[in-house]
């Protein structure tokens, strides 16, 4: 792993997603999560303080171990138990079907390699329970029309 991926990128991701607008949106939406939560792209754990006491367990998926190390510090203050999985979207989740009450994807770049035979729209939904609350936020648009963050 290069210097950029190990040291610079995790800090940039954490810094760019730590702002008033993203905090406002987290405070508005994350308290709706309930039960067992699958958070795809948990990153540095910026969502963790916003989950309510209605959340029992959070399974955070992220391919970056560096970001997960940052999230681990925030997880110790979380009311819910937090478990981390270091995997990309091409890999199957180690859970049975219907394992989650809530799925959260906030500002996550969801990518799979076409030659892996995995479709992004089919990668996770089978793990959600009936009535699962699913929240996905796209990357915000910058004032100049491109993606921000």
Task: Determine the Cα–Cα distance for residues 44 and 72; give it in Å rounded to an integer.
Answer: 8
Residues 114 and 89: beta-carbon distance below 8 Å: no
Contacts of 18 (CB under 8 A, 6+ apart): 46
CA–CA dist 51, 77 (Å, integer) = 11
Whole-model pTM: value is 0.73
User: Domain ranges in the chain?
Assistant: 3-137
What integer pLDDT is reported at residue 109 of this predicted model? 60
Predicted local distance difference test score (pLDDT) of residue 87:
79
Residue ranges of the chain with per-residue pLDDT less than 50: 111-123, 138-149
- Containing 3, the helix (H) or strand (E) segment is helix 3-3
The residue behind tokens 């921000």 is 148
47-69 residue pLDDT tens: 999 999 999 999 999 888 889 99
Question: Is residue 137 a contact partner of residue 25, using CB atoms and an 8 Å limit?
Answer: yes
> What is the reported pLDDT for 129?
57
Strand pairing class (35-40; 100-106) = parallel
The strand pairing partners of 141, in sequence order, are 147
Alpha helices for 5-144 (secondary structure H): 9-16, 20-29, 65-75
**Strand 35-40 versus strand 55-61 pairing type:** parallel
Structure tokens at 125: 């939904």
Q: What's the pLDDT score for residue 78?
A: 86
pLDDT value of position 131: 56
* CATH superfamily ID and name for 3-137: Vaccinia Virus protein VP39 (3.40.50.150)
**Both structure tokens of 140:** 């915000």
pLDDT of residue 58: 96
């Amino acid at each position: 792993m290069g210097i950029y991926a190990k040291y610079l990128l995790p800090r940039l991701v954490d810094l760019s997603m730590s702002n008033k607008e993203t905090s406002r949106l987290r405070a508005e939406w994350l308290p709706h999560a309930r039960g067992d939560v699958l958070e795809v792209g948990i990153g540095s754990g910026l969502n963790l303080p916003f989950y309510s006491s209605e959340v029992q367990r959070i399974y955070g998926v992220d391919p970056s171990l560096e970001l997960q190390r940052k999230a681990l510090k925030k997880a110790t203050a979380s009311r819910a138990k937090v478990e981390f999985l270091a995997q990309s979207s091409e890999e199957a989740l180690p859970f049975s079907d219907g394992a989650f009450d809530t799925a959260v994807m906030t500002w996550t770049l969801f990518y799979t390699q076409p030659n892996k035979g995995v479709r992004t729209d089919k990668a996770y939904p089978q793990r959600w329970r009936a009535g699962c609350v699913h929240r996905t936020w796209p990357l915000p648009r910058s004032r100049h029309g491109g993606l921000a963050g």
